[in-house]
Amino acid sequence: MNTFRLFAGLKLRLIAGNLRGAVERKVGFVFTLIAAAFVAGIGFLSMSAIRFAEPDLAADLGVVVFSALVVGWAVIPLLSFGVDDTLDPSRLSLFPLRTREMAIGLFAASATGAWPLATLIALLGGVVGLSRGLAGALVGIAAVLLVFALCLVVSRLITTALSSALRSRRGRDALAVAAIGIVLLFQLPNVIVNRGVGDPTALLHGAAGVLRWTPPGLAATSISTGNPLWLVPVAAAIVLIGWLWIKALARALVTPDSSSQAASVRGSTGLLDRLMPDGPLSAVVYKELRYIRRDPRFRVGWLVSLVVVGVLAFSQSGGDSTAGPGLVIWLTCLGAVMIGAQQQFGNMFGADGRALWMNAVVYATDRDLRTDLRGRHLAATTIAVPLIAVLAVAAGMFTGATSGILPAMLLGWGLLGVAFGSGALTSVLVPYTIPDRLNAFTGAAPGQGGQAFLGSMGAMMATGVVGLPIIVPVVLGIGWMGVVALPYGVAIALLGEHLAAKIARMRMPEILDAVTKAA
Amino acid sequence: MTVDAVRTHGLAKRFGRQVAVAGVDLTVPAGSFAGLVGPNGAGKTTTLSMITGLLRPDGGGAEVAGFNVWRDPVEVKARIGVLPEGLRLFERLSGRELLIYNGRLRGLPRAEVAGRAEELLRVMDLTEAADKLVVDYSTGMRKKIGLAAALLHNPSVLFLDEPFEGVDPVSANTLTEVLRRFTASGSTVIFSSHVMDLVERLCDWVSVMAGGHIVAQGPLDEVRAGRSLNQAFLDLVGGGSRDSGDEGLSWLGAQR
């Protein structure tokens, strides 16, 4: 019990420590509290509101929501690993604690905090919503406590079992990319409902039919039926998972950190590099292409823009036979803008971050910096241009409006150039630090959210406004104007590079400072 | 009279209310192996950042080989090599790719860069790790690849911020060998450190910083004036007479 109190106190102190930090941290902390209170309130109310649904539907909803909560607890801590120190057992491995004490302590730390409390309150809403009578309510409270414990042990088991992988560079890289999959997973219900695939009630019923036999499903069932027997397997599952967790913990505490063992990379020179004339420009292109392939932040950027376009295309093109060339143009332009709006183009020096000094001690003239910006754009172009072409052709084939393909492609390329030009300017005017450790919740270092917002909004707005002269004619159906779009885009990109290079040379120390803030 | 490798006058920088560097007049003659020593927070890193053009000073000026750092960046940047403390390298390149990128960025032809990179990797004992990503390098390997990158274009003045921190004795020995050979050819090395033994062993010129000022500077023998450099340093920065903790910490080492 002592250990329990000690660790709960430790966690509270860690949380309270946020209040002593800089203003941004305080704001972040208050925001977290508000968000947690909001989730707790909404969760409790909406779970209680299940009471007004038909009993069958209510039972199904309870099963699905309880299962979703457990899945959330399994997945979300993975994304914040490294942010929350209490998740990593290796931080505690040097303290003279027995595994049992450690397990109790970590469990206590998990149970303490705003989000666990919010979960508990939301779960208690389930008692109000599902239980029938006093006996049912008592069973319900027991069930809720069990599901809460289940959430904690499941999340502990997963983070502990994966902790050594999560500490390694490769593990984190893989996770960063996998995080998109997880975000997408949460979007899945949305897409399904939008597309009108089947009847939502039937889908819910089907899902509940399967999930009913999982531990959280059983717990929900026991509340709605008022039968405590269903809780026996739930408790058994908690004991089993808890046992596995303690085993994993014991192993994690004595397993050495393997994160420094590394594999070699292929040292190929690359086709583009061999084709281009030797010099700084091809050096930048070479570096940039390697970064796109190897840095998870770059991979995530490209993947996100593809996924967003894919999801939009999927949800907008469904079953609409009247879609003409307009839709093809719309989708292609959207793709081009999504590619051009990536963080790495609107904050080009931020992408270098703490390595920027290596360039800064070399670049002495406007020309040097222009070469740098152009190299980055060229590298991205070799990927983006074919991609936009494929997008235009695919959209054209899909909708059958093949006449829209060529104007769409040309306009898409032109807009990409406009986006590059605007991005180059925001890169030098509002640079900000992109954290090394990618996490799913923020794209900027603490305190620079404003710059990040300003930068991306600025780039988007500028792209829209500067792009108007080429967008409007093509949208109005003057397809041949697409021919003008490409040179227009290239001109804007060159102009952007030119101005950005001038500003960057004068502001380099300030840019360097802005992109190397402690994250 | 030859031009000094580095000369600053009244170099100053403040961060908010805190004055980091309060008018530094640093002089380093060409061809010297110079140590910039001082306690933590003395302003060493800030001074080096301003001289290498990475940080804009609030006042004063800096010259490298007679060229003003802020007015003549082309001349200055071609002549200097830099290894800042704790700053990152391009982590997602392999060691070899990093060197080649750096050389080509400076306009050296590809074949020439590849040759130099190969030699540097061999001297630094990094040949085996040459194709691993820098992100996976240890501290010592980082310092070595960083130094290799700083040397690749054959600079005439080399700035190193804490180059030996976190480096094992074998790697440190490699680093000093390379640096000795580099200064023997007439080039200048300026490095910051608070390891006095090392400075005493390597340097022929010492500048001592404390509280944002240069408190002593000159040839090594002149600065230490018969004492060990460590003692001279403690005398200069005023840490020598401080009681050694006799009053507090009485429990430390007591019978358990």
Closest CA relative to residue A440, chosen from A300, A335, A346, A311: A300
Residues A293 and A205 in one domain: no
Is B87 within 8 Å of A286 when comparing Cβ atoms? Answer: no
Query: Above 90 in pLDDT, residue A252?
Result: no
The DSSP output letter for A20 is G
Would you say A1 and A80 are in contact if contact means Cβ atoms under 8 Å apart?
no
Interface of A with B in 158-217 (CB under 8 A): 169
The SS3 assignment for B187 reads coil
pLDDT digits (tens, 9 = 90+) for A315-372: 665 545 455 777 888 888 888 888 888 878 888 998 888 899 999 999 999 999 999 9
pLDDT digits (tens, 9 = 90+) for A358-401: 999 999 999 999 999 999 999 999 999 998 998 888 888 877 78
Residue of chain B minimizing CA distance to A286 = B101
Residues A280 and A235 in one domain: no
Is B54 within 8 Å of A361 when comparing Cβ atoms? Answer: yes
Q: What percent of chain A has pLDDT above 70?
A: 82
Residues A200 and A316 in one domain: no
Facing residue for A287 by CB, picked from B76, B93, B96: B93
Instruction: For residues A419 and A435, give the distance between their C-alpha atoms in angstroms, rounded to a whole number.
Output: 23
Helices A405-429 and A482-515 pack at an angle, to 10 degrees, of 20
Which of A66-70, A131-135, A444-448 has maximum average pLDDT? A66-70
Buried b (16+ CB within 10 A) or exposed e, A301-316: bbbbbbbebeeebeee
Whether A364 contacts chain B with CB within 8 A: yes
The reply to whether A246 falls in a domain is yes
Residues A377 and A407 in one domain: yes
> For position B48, what pLDDT does the model report?
94
Q: B158 to chain A, minimum CA–CA distance in Å?
A: 12
Instruction: For residues A228 and B51, give the distance between their C-alpha atoms in angstroms, rounded to a whole number.
Output: 75
Residues A240 and A296 in one domain: no
The reply to whether A31 falls in a domain is yes
Residues spanned by the domain of A291: 271-515
Domain stops at, among A202, A228, A254: A254
The reply to whether A263 falls in a domain is no
Residues of B with a Cβ under 8 Å from any A Cβ are 52-56, 73-74, 76-78, 80, 82, 84, 87-94, 96-97, 100-102, 104-107, 109-110, 131-133, 135-136, 138, 149
pLDDT digits (tens, 9 = 90+) for A147-192: 999 998 898 888 888 777 777 777 777 777 777 777 667 666 666 6
Residues A303 and A219 in one domain: no
Residues A210 and A306 in one domain: no
The reply to whether A13 falls in a domain is yes
Residues A240 and A276 in one domain: no
The SS3 assignment for B109 reads coil
Instruction: For residues A509 and A490, give the distance between their C-alpha atoms in angstroms, rounded to a whole number.
Output: 29
Q: How far is CA B195 from the centre of its chain?
A: 12
Residue of chain A minimizing CA distance to B76 = A364
The reply to whether A506 falls in a domain is yes
Domain stops at, among A201, A222, A254: A254
Counting the structural domains of chain A, the total is 2
Domain stops at, among A221, A254, A287: A254
Give phi and psi for B8, each to the nearest 5: -120, 155
> For position A440, what pLDDT does the model report?
41
Closest CA relative to residue A416, chosen from A354, A459, A450: A459
Instruction: Locate A388 and state its tokens.
Output: 């936009």
Residues A183 and A280 in one domain: no
Residue to substitute from B100, B101, B105, interface A, most A β-carbons within 10 A: B105
Provide the residue-wise pLDDT of chain B in tens; the chain has 256 residues. Answer: 568 999 999 999 998 888 899 999 999 999 999 999 988 888 899 999 999 999 999 999 999 999 999 999 999 999 999 998 876 899 889 999 999 999 999 999 999 999 999 999 998 889 999 999 898 888 888 989 999 999 999 999 999 998 888 788 888 888 898 899 999 988 999 999 888 888 998 999 999 998 889 999 999 999 988 888 888 888 888 765 555 555 677 778 777 7
Helix (H) or strand (E) holding A159: helix A133-167
> For position A386, what pLDDT does the model report?
92
H runs (alpha helix) in chain B: 44-51, 73-79, 95-105, 110-123, 139-151, 169-184, 196-202, 220-224, 229-237
Is B97 within 8 Å of A513 when comparing Cβ atoms? Answer: no
* Residue B193 C-beta-side C-alpha neighbours within 13 Å: 25
The reply to whether A266 falls in a domain is no
Residues A338 and A218 in one domain: no
* Angle at alpha carbon of residue B86, lines to B83 and B91, rounded to 5°: 85
Give phi and psi for B206, each to the nearest 5: -130, 135
Whether A394 contacts chain B with CB within 8 A: no
Is B94 within 8 Å of A264 when comparing Cβ atoms? Answer: yes
Which residues is B7 bridged to in the sheet? B27, B63
Domains of chain B: 6-237 (3.40.50.300)
Helix (H) or strand (E) holding A28: helix A23-49
The reply to whether A261 falls in a domain is no
Chain B hits for A262, CB-CB cut-off 8 Å, are 132-133, 136
The reply to whether A259 falls in a domain is no
Residues A283 and A185 in one domain: no
Residues A229 and A93 in one domain: yes
